[in-house]
Structure 1
């Protein structure tokens, strides 16, 4: 039974946990923003993507925090969902959405590395 704490985890994993945690928070804030704005921002498909992205980021961070050996599978899925979410947010030409896209892309990078 290995004891997993920040000190015992590789630095790249700690960074990935931070990126996932931050992306989760920003996606949640962005959902709130989008629902308030209405129109295309609040389209069901867009909200569904943001919500799924927030959830997989949370799951991904939790898998790494638990030391689950399947974290690479979750991180792979997280990277793909974050990539699609980033593209969708970028397409909206809105500074708030660009902020979300940037957080998603940071997550794509670190999760891709963890999935490898």
Structure 2
């Protein structure tokens, strides 16, 4: 079973856990893509931001899965970092891999913002 959600969580939280888990994976995949591509794709600031985004997504998913109220703090940070990562990826131009990462980061930012605000 690869689904990381739990039945005792509400649907919005399950969606957020899923988005965080997917965003974590896509950011890691995109780091490898960027390092292989080189040039501005491989700039340390961009690679570092994607790494931090992957980390905070994993941490936010873990906090929600553990059922701790601190998930509002991790989700708030995750929403902000995902927004920054989406902007950095989108700035790479018309590159389908970068747009895929930017889109996932935006989706994760939205669900994390809702979790952070208690909605």
Q: TM-score, normalised by structure 2?
A: 0.92
Task: List, as ranges, runs of 4+ consecutive aligned residues in structure 1 with deviation greater than 4 Å.
Answer: none
CA distance in 2, matches of 1:96, 1:9: 32
Q: Over residues 29-74 of structure 1, what are the superposed CA-to-partner deviations in whole Å (9 max), with x where a residue is unaligned? A: 0000000001000000000000000000000000000111100000
Deviation at 1:6? 1.5
Equivalent pairs counted in the alignment come to: 112
CA distance in structure 2 between the partners assigned to 1:99 and 1:59 by the alignment = 22
Alignment of 1:79-94 (within 5 A): 79-93=79-93, 94=95
Give the TM-score of the pair, scaled to structure 1. Answer: 0.95
Aligned mates of 2:38, 2:7 — CA distance in 1: 44
2:106 maps to 105
User: Over residues 61-96 of structure 1, what are the superposed CA-to-partner deviations in whole Å (9 max), with x where a residue is unaligned?
Assistant: 000001111000000000000000001100111110
- Unaligned 5+ segments in structure 2 are none
CA distance in 2, matches of 1:86, 1:49: 10
Q: How far does the alpha carbon of each residue in 1:8-33 deviate from its partner, in whole angstroms, 9 at most, with x for none?
A: 11100000000000000000000000
Q: Distance in 1 between matches of 2:6 and 2:25?
A: 20
> Structure 1 unaligned runs (5+)?
none
